[in-house]
A and B are shown apart, each in its own frame.
Chain A
Amino acid sequence: MSVFNQSRKRVIQFIMLGTVLVIVARLFFLQVVETKYSKLADANAHLRKVIYPSRGIVYDRHGRAVMRNEALYDLMVTPINVKNIDTAYMCEILEIEKAEFLRRIQVAKNREGPRRPSVFANLLSPDMYGRLQESMYLFQPGFELVQRPVRSYPYGVGANFLGYISEISPGMLADTSGKYSSYQQGDYIGMTGLERTYENILMGQRGIQYLVKDNLNRPQGSLEGGIFDTAAIAGKNLRLALDLDLQVLGEKMMAGKIGSIVAIDPQTGGILAMVSGPTFDPNLLSGSYRAKNLGILLTDTVKPMFNRAIQAIYPPGSTFKPITGLIALDEGVIGPDFGFPCHGGYGLCGRFSRCTHSNPGHAANMRVALANSCNSYFMHVYRLSVDNKKWGGTKNGQAKWVEYLKAMGLGRRIGVDIPSEAMGIVPDTARMNRVYRNVWNSCSEMYVGMGQGQLSLTPIQLANAMCIIANRGWYHIPHFVESIDQDKSDILKKYKEKISVAHISSDAFQSVVDGMADVVTSGTARKAQIEGFEVCGKTGTAENTTIVNGKMVKLKDHSLFVGFAPKNNPKIAIAVVVENAGFGATYAVPIASILMEKYLTDTISAKRKPVLEQMLNSNTFSPEIKHKSKLDSLNSVNYAGAEGAVIMRKILGH
């Protein structure tokens, strides 16, 4: 019988071999053709852990930390992975009730869904963090600790220019230019201020650690002994030109005022202080407080988030007169000895425009005209510059004049190392054509000669103009960062270059500088005198208007002061604007002079202390704004920033 069926051996062999061939084909597909499985295996078994470096610290010119880091941790929860954990123990560590625990889990589920991690407890105290860290294995994989980059500001100042960091936005992540390609969702990035400009330097280099994990996501040690890991490199520290004493003092003086202060070291272009008043304690926007405070700050009536020093534009008023003079001298249309017979007004353009002084000889030359702040003189000098035959026609003359302004950094972004600078307004040809429908001459905007009309500048532009005068013709682009630790890049190179803007003889320059010195010794800025130093300055009382219910309404004048000291070998150039506060001499001069004194003498003399106290305690807010603003109560919550108070106590001698 077996003989008959022997051929069936072949069939059976065929079935066996056929089956094995199917298996081999499948294996070939799985192991050789398809590559996704090895990727899946890596994703399965490797935990790619990003190690965040600490962000760079920012120091002032004396090595004091303006902004530093605090290592704080959040406890994250992935609700779906929470099972079989010792809830009671976790509650004990976090000092919460079981009901609260369950509520937070529910909140997490509602917020991010059960499969995505969300914050269970944020910014843990060091003690809680320590205890959790030790017993983390008990709570994994549902819970994990995530380090949060939290900035702290020991002096509580500089909010407007330091900026803040926050989680990268979906818009940035969707950006295709590759600018943000190294970021992942949840990463922090500098959003404003220095944090943004120097993001690449402050951020450092993220490290990546590959961990091997098992089927329950438990890390089992580093992959292949860590040969694939990259270490995190800490962010580099920034060293600013900033003087914290000035900054603290400035912010305190501007607390009850709307306006700004910009102080620059004219010899380096380094910004010594930049105050936008009123401002807020930057600690308010740090870490978990941001969510609570950001909305309040953004909507507050005094607009504390608005950096007036670079974003607000003001008619410069009389503070612009030295610049009018300089341009005319540089163009050669007048000499320093040029005089103008002013009899209490300017009538060469038809309508008689009155001015303060009428005594003969008050505008006999540049120096005297500046000291007396003669409107007629500078309107006329402006007209002479614009009507200069050399340029062939007023329109060209005006264009040339604006060119001068631009060269001095006026009416354009000056290039300071924080974002969001405003350009300001200058009477360029396009604007003149628009305003005067193409029909205009040098009379049309003669008021720009005295700093009114189609002219609005930012405080930093004014301060920079002072640097130019202080330096007799050149400046450095104003900047905060003087040096970066261990950095060999040439990112700061542009701030080291001297930019020359004028070609005026030293004699001519001297007339402007002397005029400004006279303003302080015998003119409107007598309050700016500092014992032992020759101070140069110019006050301004700028008219300004606003539109209320469709009608142009004239507001109280802005109080302005620009200046520098000492006259020779200048160390500090300054611009102060206090909005709607009246005469330049009332607020702007004392504030500027206190700061100059502090910077030059490192103290405030006893006889000037009452002035300082007065500036600290005065408030120029309109009652309506003051009533609505919540800023004061917000700033009085002291999160950190205690060092600022120490500086103030030292200055006041309390």
Chain B
Amino acid sequence: MNRSQAKLTAGIDWPIFGMYLALVFIGFLAIFAAEYREGDHVIQNLLSQNKNWARQVLWFGVSIVLATGIWLTDSKFFTATANLFYAFGILLLLVVLAIGTGVKGSNSWLELGGFRFQPAEFTKLCTCLALAKYLSAMETDFTKLRSRLIAVGMVMFPLAIIILQDETGLALVYLAFFLVMYREGLPGVLLVIAFSGIVLVLSALLIDKFILLYIFTGVAAVVIYFNRYQIRRKKSRLVTIIAIWAFCSSFVMYVVPFVFTNVLKDYQVRRIYVMLGQENDPKATYNTRQSMIAIGSGGFWGKGYLKGTQTRLDFVPEQSTDFIFCTIGEDFGFVGSLIFLGIYVSLLLRIIFIAERQRSTFSRVYAYGVASIIFFHLAINIMMTIGLAPVIGIPLPLVSYGGSSLMTFTMLIFIMLRLDADRQMVLR
């Protein structure tokens, strides 16, 4: 008995497993706190499944079954079926796009016998597997532009479909795969360009465009002045500087205003402005404001479990899904939040550690994919609750209420654990 059990769990990475359980448990506590009212009959609620926390217990049960299934599956299965997964995921997305059920302004839900399911969550797993499969393939040479374009395409395709489903938040998560591709050799300058792009967009929104134009012109002039000797020797340098100047200027003068008036939807623009503190429309700021009040009122030590007034009295919207961090921030304060973030960071670093110890490219890319997705979710979700990011509805992995999300992340993590357990095998 002992031996067979040892065999069953052999190779499992206990720290990851432990942190997984811890986060799911914290999630359960938070959802419970967000919903529980004095006088609720806990057992009755659990049996009748009429509360989110009660359903979350059920989803956890299902997730554990899935996790066990994955654990018992041969790791070669995932390499073999990665592309199949991807095809299936894309198919699901397209089906949803055609017949999806609308929940809160998005058409990303699929109704299956009373259960609603969000394929956009599940497709992350598919994309992660497929990307790993592609990058680990013998014929792929990631230093070549063609391979890079194919990899980017694999990521951008589901992203585009999800944007069409009006789930911008979930779509943006796919950008996390660029982190993976960076690890696998995508030029670092792309990261720099992406970062500069973000700074450019932000400054275009925050600072008057004519002032920016003067600044850019001034900076260009100074740069040209200090490079005057090099420019004399090499005229192309001047062209480069002027090209960058022209690009930045036209970007803030024309591209950003165009995108904001013609591409983005009104509510998206408003959310971005709210996040930047540029708009004080109480309706637009309500969510962020209430969420910040809830977290801020937690103070250093927190109000104590089930003592939070903001979350428990429904001031914070979506408090068991997207804004679940409010409950943690309010009830457990700065200290609790710090510990909570500590668990997450440990999980992320542990996954990266695991990724780097893999012998197969597939496993490594996959593990990096898992880390990137979790990181992206974590960063955007928490930043939006504290007013650092616009409100885009993405859940906090393992913590937020929601079956699709919990099951997807469970599968992501357990496939990684399975692969890690078999890391001595070289997988293709």
- Residue numbers of A with Cβ under 8 A of B are 1-2, 4-6, 8-9, 11-13, 15-17, 19-20, 22-24, 26-28, 30-32, 34, 36-38, 40-42, 44-46, 212-216, 220
Complex Cα–Cα for A38 and B375 (A): 29
Residues of A within 8 A of B231 (CB): none
B39 CB to nearest A CB, Å: 10
Asked whether A37 lies within 8 Å of B297 as measured between CB atoms, the reply is yes
Complex Cα–Cα for A13 and B356 (A): 12
Known: A23-B383, A27-B337. 15 other contacts (CB 8 A): A5-B185, A9-B352, A12-B371, A16-B371, A16-B375, A19-B375, A19-B379, A22-B383, A26-B387, A30-B292, A30-B386, A37-B293, A41-B310, A215-B314, A220-B313
**Most chain B beta-carbon neighbours within 10 Å: one of A15, A30, A32:** A30
Given contacts A2-B364, A13-B349, contact A24 B341 (CB under 8 A): yes
**Most chain A beta-carbon neighbours within 10 Å: one of B183, B293, B341:** B293
B333: Cβ under 8 A from any A Cβ:
yes
B345: Cβ under 8 A from any A Cβ:
yes
Complex Cα–Cα for A27 and B296 (A): 8
Asked whether A15 lies within 8 Å of B179 as measured between CB atoms, the reply is yes
Residues of B within 8 A of A28 (CB): 334
Using a CB-CB cutoff of 8 Å, which residues 320-361 of chain B contact chain A? Answer: 329, 333-334, 337-338, 341, 344-345, 348-349, 352, 356, 361
B294: Cβ under 8 A from any A Cβ:
yes
Per a CB cutoff under 8 Å, which of B182, B297, B313, B329 touches A27?
Answer: B329
Asked whether B313 lies within 8 Å of A8 as measured between CB atoms, the reply is no
Asked whether A38 lies within 8 Å of B297 as measured between CB atoms, the reply is yes
Per a CB cutoff under 8 Å, which of A11, A13, A26, A214 touches B315?
Answer: A214
Size bin of chain B's contact surface: 35 or more
B88: Cβ under 8 A from any A Cβ:
no
Residues of A within 8 A of B295 (CB): 27, 30-31, 37
Per-residue CB contact flags for chain B residues 17-53 toward chain A (1 = under 8 Å, else 0) read 0000000000000000000000000000000000000
B101 CB to nearest A CB, Å: 26
Complex Cα–Cα for A102 and B185 (A): 70
A20 CB to nearest B CB, Å: 5
B382: Cβ under 8 A from any A Cβ:
yes
Asked whether B352 lies within 8 Å of A32 as measured between CB atoms, the reply is no
Residues of A within 8 A of B371 (CB): 12, 16
- Residue numbers of B with Cβ under 8 A of A are 142-143, 179, 182-185, 188, 191, 290, 292-300, 309-310, 313-315, 329, 333-334, 337-338, 341, 344-345, 348-349, 352, 356, 361, 364, 368, 371, 375, 378-379, 382-383, 386-388
Asked whether A17 lies within 8 Å of B293 as measured between CB atoms, the reply is no
Per a CB cutoff under 8 Å, which of B297, B313, B383 touches A40?
Answer: B297
Residues of B within 8 A of A24 (CB): 337-338, 341
Residues of A within 8 A of B184 (CB): 1-2, 5
**Most chain A beta-carbon neighbours within 10 Å: one of B142, B334, B364:** B334
Asked whether A31 lies within 8 Å of B313 as measured between CB atoms, the reply is no
Asked whether A215 lies within 8 Å of B313 as measured between CB atoms, the reply is yes
- With both beta carbons as reference points, the residue of chain A lying nearest to B294 in the complex is identified as A41
A-B pairs with lowest CB-CB distance, top 8: A37-B296, A41-B297, A45-B309, A31-B334, A214-B313, A38-B297, A30-B296, A215-B314
Asked whether A26 lies within 8 Å of B299 as measured between CB atoms, the reply is no
Asked whether B345 lies within 8 Å of A16 as measured between CB atoms, the reply is yes
Given contacts A40-B297, A45-B315, contact A27 B345 (CB under 8 A): no
Asked whether B296 lies within 8 Å of A212 as measured between CB atoms, the reply is no
Asked whether B179 lies within 8 Å of A1 as measured between CB atoms, the reply is no
Asked whether A45 lies within 8 Å of B183 as measured between CB atoms, the reply is no
Residues of A within 8 A of B313 (CB): 45, 212-215, 220
Residues of B within 8 A of A12 (CB): 179, 182-183, 352, 368, 371
Asked whether A1 lies within 8 Å of B142 as measured between CB atoms, the reply is yes
